Amino acid sequence: MDLTKYSPSTKILTLTQFGEVTPRLFDLLYTHLGDLDAILLAEQETLAQLTSLPEEITLRICEAYHKLDLAGEMIEQLSAREIKVSNCLELDHPSLLTELHDPPPLIYVRGTLPDPKLKTVALAGTSEASAEGIEMTTRLARAFADAKVQIVAAVSSGIAISAHLGARAVEGRSFGVMDCGFDQMVDSELMPLAIDLANYGGVISEQLPDVEPTETSSLEANRQAITNPYSGVSNLSGLAQDLSSNLTNPYANLSVATQAAEIQIEQADISLANTLDTIRATGASAGGATALAQAALQSKKGVSASIEAQEAQNERARAQGEERQQQQQMAEAQRLQQADVSGKQFEFGVREGREAEQLDRVSAQLSGAEARGAQASADRMGAFTGMVGGLASTAGSYFSAAASSNNFGTQGYDTSKFNAPVSSSFSNPATGYAGLPVYNFNN
């Protein structure tokens, strides 16, 4: 099947609307398969291996591509109503949405999206704000708007509407987030605000226009992105290059003290020269000259040994300094590594907690619905049984009373006149047992 004629938004809408692919499931499928066409054309076995989902869900995803044309018509209808559809694969899609634990694959926009080149701040608060809170929010929003900072807030009363009005007062841009579809705005008083936002900023929703708000949709629409508290940690090991005095080897440039050795050599040379003059004056033998040369050699060896000792000591100091520098750099690297690990653990813990809470909530809702359904069935059965029992008791009492007050038999005939009908012709009906008509049969 040729899928090239369908836009990415159409394909994603097909998966989410007709395949009932949730945001987390879409992220999982796209991460593993890497392409929208691959997801739409995937075999059921492949989906089952990737997701471990029940057979009916994987089958629904596999059959979703049959609805591509219908999804395309929905996109065209939205466009005709000036509702833009932004998908997570577009470059101008809000990048901060990807930091949510369940980033929406599609969002619906009336107006425009926030400019990614400008700074953006979100303002949130109670819908029953005090006068002081409204005044403070309005001033804060005006200050942000004056500084060319975009405002994002819910489309609701209280703090949110104060933020939008504060930004609008100084011709700033603000964007409203709805927890339902555009056609399901319950509070008519907020309609002028939504229209103004669409004209001078934007109104954004994760839901199709006809989706009604739910008890949890407001909380989910205002959920915060999971942040890494260690994301601002900087690598300080580079300071060893920029600030060499911080992490340098103080023993790297030690010098050898040779001046004393040079003086010692000079004195030895002078002493040897004087001795040699004495030997010449006194006419000493060749053995004396040899002894003199050996003494000179020993003197030079002593000086050389002294210099070598200094050099060895300096080498040890340099090695110790280098070891200390390496230890400091290693400690800094370990600190950064630990900060990164701690940050990832924090993100995982928060995400896991949120998903567990969501699962618990859905499970509790399903369990409650099943319990209420079972109780309702039991109540209906009890009411029906009680009604039948009451009617039977009433009828029995009535029949007993009627039987005790006349002479009619069990078949409704007056036993004082005859026992059974003898002919099919009859006339003059009378009232018999339990109000049934009784006829006098003619022979």
At position 169, the amino acid (one-letter code) is: A
Rounded CA separation 232/228 (Å): 9
Predicted pLDDT at 66: 93
Instruction: Please list the alpha-helical segments (H only) found in 228-285.
Output: 239-242, 259-282
Q: Is pLDDT above 90 for 76?
A: yes
pLDDT tens digits, one per residue of 409-440: 444 444 454 444 444 444 444 444 444 454 44
Rounded CA separation 348/211 (Å): 31
Predicted pLDDT at 78: 94
pLDDT tens digits, one per residue of 50-65: 877 888 888 999 999 9
The chain-wide mean pLDDT, for the chain, equals 75
DSSP single-letter state for residue 5: T
Predicted pLDDT at 114: 93
Q: Is pLDDT above 70 for 286?
A: no
In the chain, where the domains are located: 1-80, 85-225, 248-377
Predicted pLDDT at 269: 64
Predicted pLDDT at 144: 95
Q: End-to-end distance of the chain based on CA atoms, in angstroms?
A: 88
pLDDT tens digits, one per residue of 11-46: 999 999 999 898 888 998 998 998 999 999 999 888
pTM of the model: 0.53
Q: Classify residue 230 by burial, with Cβ atoms within 10 Å: 0-12, 13-18, 19+.
A: middle
More confident residue, 438 or 252: 252
User: Which structure tokens are listed for 332?
Assistant: 């800094």
Element (H, E) at 141: helix 131-146
73-93 mean pLDDT = 93
Predicted pLDDT at 241: 45
297-306 mean pLDDT = 64
**pLDDT grade, residue 84 (50/70/90)?**
very high
More confident residue, 291 or 9: 9
Q: At what angle do helices 44-51 and 55-62 cross, to 10 degrees?
A: 130
353-359 mean pLDDT = 66
364-368 mean pLDDT = 64
88-101 mean pLDDT = 86
pLDDT tens digits, one per residue of 204-236: 999 999 887 655 455 555 555 555 555 555 665
Region label for 20, one of left (φ > 0), alpha (ψ between -120 and 50) or beta (otherwise): left
At position 333, the amino acid (one-letter code) is: A
User: Which structure tokens are listed for 431?
Assistant: 């009232």
Residues of the chain with pLDDT > 70, as a percent, come to 59
Number of residues in the chain: 443
Predicted pLDDT at 404: 56
- HSE on the CB side for 60, CA within 13 Å? 14
Topology of the domain covering 85-225: Rossmann fold (3.40.50)
pLDDT tens digits, one per residue of 158-186: 999 999 999 999 999 999 999 888 888 87
